[in-house]
Structure 1
């Protein structure tokens, strides 16, 4: 009996570890979701809950963490060798800052949510993009301006702080381009992904 439980526990840990690894082909949304069926399920759930198309937060997440579950901003150093901390407390798949994450937890009541869990991270991004739409009127399909809000915050975006940061404008443009590529890819494979998911649900 103990041996059976041990096998089950090791299997769960193994699946969890695999789920935490970045996808093998991050440039292709179809390949990401084919490899990580649980990510696709979470992305669909986010879309249904918040109304944000899956390709937008996925493009933003790629830019923020390259899909690394424990990503952090790089360590900063004085004189090239004395560590003085990181630029911010952003963490996890979505690189959510602690204060914003706490606001998300407070508003949604999802007290067990973790920034290192993909499902929680993409739900957070759905929540954020929905708030961006409510506060600043930015379409949930507008990856460029959604990303600028994500980086500068709602107040910063409203003030136009991003206009003084040409590097950020360029990054937002790359996010927008990736979002459009992801959308085109997803349109080609969505039917197959949904069919496979339903087949697994009823016959798997």
Structure 2
């Protein structure tokens, strides 16, 4: 009996250890300004971005700029919760969640379109693949170049219909954010040639 209980505890510890290992701590705020530091912090994030780039066409730099803006590389990021009278919690204004801040409905569309039924918004591989897929849809539906970080981000934030209706024009703050994403992507692109990139193949734990 004691042995059975011990085995169960060992199983639980291993299980939760594996789950916690899937969510890397975000790089520091200063490290996020340099993609080389981001890659050094978590090399597998670069491999995931490269796989998404090859599948969907959005560059590593633009993908990373999106994640930096949306979640600052925090795996379970959510919009802030409003409070009534300063202490009564109210529903969040958006279902955005995870690295890519994908909303519930859009994430389901992605899962259905790609067949990735078990994709998770707290998994960087899935989040980057989602960004690549969404940008490919922006290109297909609205003719936006996959090198145009500014307009890709406006599509990403407003939705494809909102972008066609030019809803962003009533939101000067959003256009400023899109410019910051564009500038961050350009910086990342300039920095990438100087980065020490991880090899494509590796054996854990030497990845």
Q: TM-score, normalised by structure 2?
A: 0.86
1:155 matched to 2:155? The reply is no
Counterpart of 1:182 in structure 2 is 188
For residue 87 of structure 1, report the CA deviation from its aligned partner. Answer: 1.1
| Shift in alpha-carbon separation, 1:12–1:23, aligned structure 2, 3 A | farther
Deviations 1:20-51, CA, capped at 9 Å, x for gaps = 21023211111111221111111110011001
The aligned counterpart of 2:199 is 197
Q: Is the 8 A contact 2:47 2:200 kept in 1?
A: no
Q: Which one has the bigger helix percentage?
A: 1
Q: Which is further off, 144-153 or 17-26?
A: 17-26
Whether 2:25 is the aligned partner of 1:21: answer: yes
Assess, with a 3 A threshold, how the Cα gap between structure 1 residues 34 and 12 changes in structure 2: closer, same or farther.
Answer: farther
Q: 2:147 aligns with which of 124, 141, 144?
A: 141
| Aligned counterparts of 1:40 and 1:11: Cα–Cα separation in 2 | 26
CA contact (8 A) 1:19 1:36 kept: no
**Aligned pair 1:132/2:138, yes or no?**
yes
Whether 2:39 is the aligned partner of 1:33: answer yes
Distance across 1 between alignment mates of 2:22 and 2:97:
19
Query: Could you give the per-residue CA deviations for residues 74-130 of structure 1, whole angstroms, max 9, x where no partner exists?
Result: 001223322211110010000000000000000000011000000000000000000
Provide the C-alpha distance between the structure 2 equivalents of 1:58 and 1:98, rounded to a whole number of angstroms. Answer: 21
Equivalent residue of 1:69, what SS?
Answer: coil
Match of 1:86 in 2: 92
Question: Structure 1 unaligned runs (5+)?
Answer: none
The CA distance in 2 between the partners of 1:135 and 1:121, in whole Å, is 21
Question: 2:23–2:122: 8 Å Cα contact kept in structure 1?
Answer: no
Residue segments in structure 2 that go unaligned for 5+ positions in a row: 1-5
Normalised by the length of structure 1, the TM-score is: 0.87
Q: In 1, distance between residues paired with 2:130 and 2:168?
A: 22
Task: Give the match for residue 167 of structure 1.
Answer: 173
Q: Secondary structure at the match of 2:91?
A: strand
